Amino acid sequence: MSYSCRNLIEDREQFPAPFLLDIYRSLKDDPATDYTALRSAIGTPAGFIPSQTTYLDETEWWLSRLKELGRPNEGIAAMVRAVYPWLAHGYHAQAERISDRFTVFDGWIKDTHGEIDPRLNRVPVSCTEIEALARCPFAYFLRYVLEVEPPDDYGRDPTVWLDAMAFGILLHEIFHSFMAEITAREEKPNFTRHWERLRAIAEECITRWRHRMPPPNLAAFTTQRSHVFAACYTFLKDEEIHCQQGTPRYFEIPFGLPGLESAPPIGSPDPVSIDIGEGKDFMLRGRIDRVDHKGRDEYEVWDYKSGSSRNILEEKQLNRGRQIQHALYARAVEILLARVQKQGRVTRSGYFFPGLKGEGQRIAKPQDTLALEKVLGTLFGLLRDGIFPYAPDPDFCGFCDYRCVCKGPEKANAQTQMKLENRGADGNPFEPMRRLMDCDD
């Protein structure tokens, strides 16, 4: 029999259980024997590394041999790797990762033959996928190439009813229902006239969601219900001013999403072909929240965001592809209008943040065809060449589902920066990533 004589977590000595003392008393036939006698009889504790004569399996034999050979050195390590080839493979992979060369162990797939390049395989892609590639090619590789999904989180915050995604969907439903209703009556948003109706629509949607996803408690429900009404208040106040310069025309417009009902008259089950110059194009799919008519053949495209605006940099046009949705949706609207024989040109495209964190901010951007084509060509060059390094900066690592794979931004970002700086002959595979870093708009 044995017992654990040390608590490794708290780094303190542990005493044997009374059960062991009872056994020792029985062996000695002395019911008065105490712990002092038991400790003296036990002898020297055994450690994790056995002697050469007491090992139980192959692993313990190796531990005993390594103890005899002394401090670890390259000779001993090489001996172990020679016996265990999988350890040798792991050692080689780690050595390549920490080197200044970009290798297959850093996210380089050789000979992709264009299988994952949307310009060649003609598989429709979404703005979400493209922006994910721009944020971190390695995370994109795990999610969209290997299709590795993080495990479901079954833990639930008792203070929250709806997570960020569900809350955003709820707001979209409310705004869509309200805007479609008043537009059908040829009315524009007016706070005095429409506030009570918007509240009623919000209450109806909240009730449906409450039955669909029961809240953990009344406090969580009440809090988020108030956040919904606050977002509706901001939405209507801002839209009353915004719509003085234009007319909301189309809502929730899907394209390239056959499972969704197409919103007439410009929605389509087919994706749109986006020209990116040099005779190349790719197929885009998605769903546009809203299109406003500004007069004659001019339109604006708007996307509702329920969170904060901190990830949308107003001073950056595309931010190396990390905020590219506004530009691609502008192109898509012009194509969808042409499909139904409507002349249309998108003059502005952007984002509206009516939630508490967004504080009603609008970020709109003009269109820059050359910048868009350059960024898309560079991003798709990564896919063509199979280049999937870690993100070179930690800006978007805080919300990544794959931090446990890359070991966190501190190590991963530094490795990519080191490889970016190596412009030797063996650094040529990394050129597409360097070109992306040079896209400073």
Name the band, by pLDDT with cuts 50, 70 and 90, for residue 428: low
Amino acid at 407: K
Q: Which of 115, 46, 38, 127 is nearest to 331 (CA)?
A: 127
| Cα–Cα distance measured from residue 347 to residue 385, given in angstroms and rounded to the nearest whole number | 35
The pLDDT of residue 52 = 66
Stretch (H or E) spanning 415 = helix 409-421
Q: Are 78 and 66 in contact (CB under 8 A)?
A: no
- Contacts for 57 with CB less than 8 Å, ≥ 6 apart: none
Length of the chain as a residue count: 441
More confident residue, 318 or 70: 318
More confident residue, 400 or 294: 294
Mean pLDDT, the chain, integer: 89
Name the band, by pLDDT with cuts 50, 70 and 90, for residue 356: very high
Q: Would you say residue 22 has pLDDT above 70?
A: yes
| SS3 category, 149 | coil
Instruction: Read off the pLDDT of residues 165-177 as tens digits, 9 standing for 90 and up.
Output: 999 999 999 999 9
Structure tokens at 211: 């039955």
The pLDDT of residue 425 = 54
Q: Would you say residue 225 has pLDDT above 80?
A: yes
Stretch (H or E) spanning 295 = strand 286-295
| Cα–Cα distance measured from residue 409 to residue 40, given in angstroms and rounded to the nearest whole number | 52
DSSP 8: T
Out of 238-242, 288-292, 339-343, pick the least confident.
339-343
The pLDDT of residue 276 = 94
- Contacts for 277 with CB less than 8 Å, ≥ 6 apart: 373, 377
Work out whether the CA dihedral 258, 262, 265, 271 comes out positive or negative: negative
Stretch (H or E) spanning 82 = helix 74-83
Q: Are 374 and 439 in contact (CB under 8 A)?
A: yes
The alpha helices in 185-311, defined as continuous H runs, are 191-212, 218-242
| Cα–Cα distance measured from residue 356 to residue 30, given in angstroms and rounded to the nearest whole number | 75
Structure tokens at 344: 């249309």
Q: Are 320 and 375 in contact (CB under 8 A)?
A: yes
| Cα–Cα distance measured from residue 178 to residue 189, given in angstroms and rounded to the nearest whole number | 9
Q: What is the pTM of this model?
A: 0.82
The pLDDT of residue 69 = 67
